[in-house]
Amino acid sequence: MSTIVKRNTPIPCVKKGMYTTVEDFQTSIDINIYEGERSHVEGNTQLGEFVISGIERAKRDTAKVEVCFEIDANGILKVSARDKVTMVENSVVIENAKGRLSTAEVDAMVAEAEKFAAEDAAFTERLSARNAVEKLAYDLLELGQECEIDKLCDKAKEVREWLDEVSITGTTAEYNGKRTEMETLMTKLGVR
């Protein structure tokens, strides 16, 4: 999850962000739009969602999808997404009164975000560590296959299985430990 339009941004405004795929040869991306102050979806209010299909079929982290948030003077939000290669696009319009929070609800949400700021920061750090391990395991497997190094492939598969077992319940230290194991093996094999 990422913040595109920060609270108290003057309107009308246009803000953009670039996103990519998380799996090989993914041809669609789910775009979910949330309003809130927390750093992850739990604790925020979903305003809308849509799917952009027909994106570039490529390795993960290759496709480039631009997501644009446009808020007009009436508070109407239009979110659009466009693949930079295939030029396919899709969008959704969210009306001001439909599903939006009142001023009191926003104030309560801000207070809750402040209350749970440390917890949210720890969650974000843990998720970032997990994503780094997942990316390195993916890269390690690909490198092992290209260079025909079984030890790399085996280690990557072992870590990916471990990731499946722990889901997102692993600790930051556990994720960092797995990353260190893979980096040490790469150094030992001279492929770093």
**pLDDT of amino acid 132:** 92
Domain boundary, last residue among 100, 128, 155: 100
Contacts of 44 (CB under 8 A, 6+ apart): 34, 35, 36, 37, 38, 109
Which residues in the chain show pLDDT less than 50? 98
**Boundary (domain end) residue, out of 100, 127, 158:** 100
DSSP 8-state class, residue 113: H
Over residues 96-107, the pLDDT tens digits come to 654 566 788 878
State the Cα–Cα distance between residues 70 and 39, nearest whole angstrom: 21
- Domain check: are 28 and 79 in the same one? yes
pLDDT digit string, tens, across residues 13-27: 999 999 999 888 999
Domain of 38: which CATH number? 2.60.34.10
Are residues 178 and 159 in contact, defined by beta-carbon separation less than 8 angstroms?
A: yes
Rounded to two decimals, the pTM is: 0.71
